[in-house]
Amino acid sequence: MRFILNRLPFRIVWVLCAILVSCTTPKEKAVILAEEIDRSAWGNWMAVIELATEAIEADPTFAWPYAQRGTALAYLGRYTDALRDYDTAIRLRPDLDPAYTDRAIVYIRVGRLDDAERDLAFSLTASPNDMKNLITMAEVQSLKNRPESACRLLKRAFINGFKDIKGLEQNKNFENLTYSDCYDALMRR
């Protein structure tokens, strides 16, 4: 049944769910909406905002839709609103690691490097080999002019399978590492 529901558009799923299995509680609606965002709306940021807002209205205590909406808002450059949603998600669920990582990315965009570093330190404690955490923390270290620390993090990312060298070379936040010995050694891999 769930396989079939995963293939249908959200509105149809919700109607079927309400009719067939009486999933009409606010929590169930919020969960279905959040799953729909992950399944089919990701990348369509206005749709993500709409569905996440609907999920939040259904269950304001469910943290994940706040984080999802925060990411959509960040992609649209609405950093203050994104930070507010990430803060809410983290307040509701202090162990929601992706919200810390994504909030750190927004902190980088607005120049709050100490806040980004704090969030990423938490995320790396929870997920020490997570590629996104390692690369983002390396970015912070590079921006704070700590090339050796940035290189150590990049090396860990490479060891754990990171392969997007071109992306690193194009990221302007790594420019001050370009001439360091450790960066040259990593790029020759």
Average confidence (pLDDT) per 10 residues, the chain, 189 residues? 49 51 72 80 87 92 96 97 98 96 98 98 94 95 93 90 83 81 71
- pLDDT value for 42: 77
Q: Is 183 a domain residue?
A: yes
Which residue, of 67, 94, 121, is where some domain finishes? Answer: 94
Contacts of 175 (CB under 8 A, 6+ apart): none
CATH of the domain at 123: 1.25.40
Give the domain range for residue 65. Answer: 1-94
- pLDDT value for 168: 81
- pLDDT value for 5: 47
CATH of the domain at 63: 1.25.40.10
Q: Is 101 a domain residue?
A: no
- pLDDT value for 21: 47
Q: Is 138 a domain residue?
A: yes
Which residue, of 94, 128, 145, is where some domain finishes? Answer: 94
Which residue, of 94, 125, 157, is where some domain finishes? Answer: 94
Same domain flag for 76 and 118: no
* Total domain count, the chain: 2
Same domain flag for 89 and 118: no
Q: Give the closest residue to 102 by CA, choosing from 67, 134, 154, 135.
A: 67
Q: Give the closest residue to 99 by CA, choosing from 85, 117, 81.
A: 85
Contact (Cβ atoms closer than 8 angstroms) between residue 93 and residue 63: yes
- pLDDT value for 13: 56
Same domain flag for 77 and 132: no
Same domain flag for 71 and 115: no
